[in-house]
Amino acid sequence: MRGKAAGLMLAALLASASAGAQEPRVPPHARPRVVSLNLCTDELALRLADPGQVLSVTHLARDPLASNVADRARDVPVNRGLAEEVVPLKPDLVLAGAYTTRTATAVLRRLGFEVLELGDPQTLEEAYAQIRLVAERLGVPERGAAMVRQMEEAFARLPLVAGPRPTAVVLRPNGFTTGRGSLADELMEKAGLSNLAARLPTDKMGQLALEEIVRAAPDLVVVNAEETAPPSLADALLHHPALAPFKDRTLALPLRLWTCAGPDLAEAAALLAAARTRLSAPEAGRPVGGVHHAAAEGAR
């Protein structure tokens, strides 16, 4: 029954798409109209495109805890990543993540829609490349170049590091961390921190035992826990009594700041650098934690 229902839905979508096949989707020389099915592509589309060029973004784009563009998304129609939501809009371009909405993107491709999939950037250069690519496909390459330039200038303004670098470890739910070769690792390096996980037997995304963290005694623990997040078993490790000695050197940095390609990456590095400065100057009366919650001040 489920397969039959899926077949009927696809047939209906094909009929809907065929009905409008003879209609020009966009006037000649106009910028392409876009639908986004991924939070990271939501952010790029809303920051780079003209008003009205973005036909729909995911419902997550309006969530200020998850999104850096909640204000921009307020008046844009939202979707939940379903092909049947996209087809009636007749977009010229569909932006999607490489690991999400796989069924929807497969259906949309079969219907003849142009789909651009983006993976998670693992380096700043990959992030810059994604920004330039999306800007080009949206018909605004100069805006992509300007965003990259803005980020490069922000990184260049980070304070220089003199002397030994404090050690830091990113601790995410279930003990996951970010090791060598990850975007977070590069941002910590830019901020003047030495990523402890890069020295341990884990690569990019791995798990660290609580005992390893306590034994290594990092100078700074960076967590992704949100102040308003509900309790969960996955987050229980972050509140383990063994981590109590690190309470005053813990930085809660929202995950939304250092996941997607965009100017928030530079803001995340600046917040990490500020935490590193506080580590070096405890006499200034500004402890890193207790727990210190970093607040994003960039434009949403």
Domain final residue, candidates 104, 119, 134: 119
Same domain? For 279 and 211 the reply is: yes
Number of domains in the chain: 2
Same domain? For 43 and 102 the reply is: yes
Amino acid at 1: M
Same domain? For 115 and 205 the reply is: no
| Terminal Cα distance for the chain, rounded | 44
**131 part of a folded domain:** no
**125 part of a folded domain:** no
**9 part of a folded domain:** yes
- Mean pLDDT, the chain cut into blocks of 10 residues (300 residues total): 48 48 49 98 99 97 96 97 98 95 95 97 97 98 99 96 90 82 94 87 67 89 69 62 84 92 98 92 50 51
Show the tokens assigned to 293.
């919650």
- Main-chain dihedrals φ then ψ at residue 64, nearest 5 degrees: -65, -20
Same domain? For 45 and 108 the reply is: yes
Per DSSP, the three-state class of 246 is helix
Whole-prediction pTM value? 0.84
Same domain? For 61 and 177 the reply is: no
Element (H, E) at 141: helix 141-156
CB of 263 closer than 8 Å to CB of 233: no
DSSP 2: H
Partners of residue 56 on adjacent β-strands: 35
Indicate the length of the chain as a whole number.
Answer: 300
Same domain? For 88 and 168 the reply is: no
Scored b (16 or more CB within 10 A) or e, 193-219 reads bbbbbbebebeeebebeeebbeeeebb
Same domain? For 113 and 184 the reply is: no
Q: Output the pLDDT for position 163.
A: 83
- Angle at CA 284, nearest 5°, toward 283 and 288? 90
**223 preceded by a cis bond (ω within 30 of 0):** no
Domain region containing 13: 2-119
Q: Which CATH number fits the domain that encloses residue 96?
A: 3.40.50.1980
How far CA 174 is from CA of 97, 111, 239, in Å, comes to 24, 40, 11
Radius of gyration of the chain (CA): 22
**97 part of a folded domain:** yes
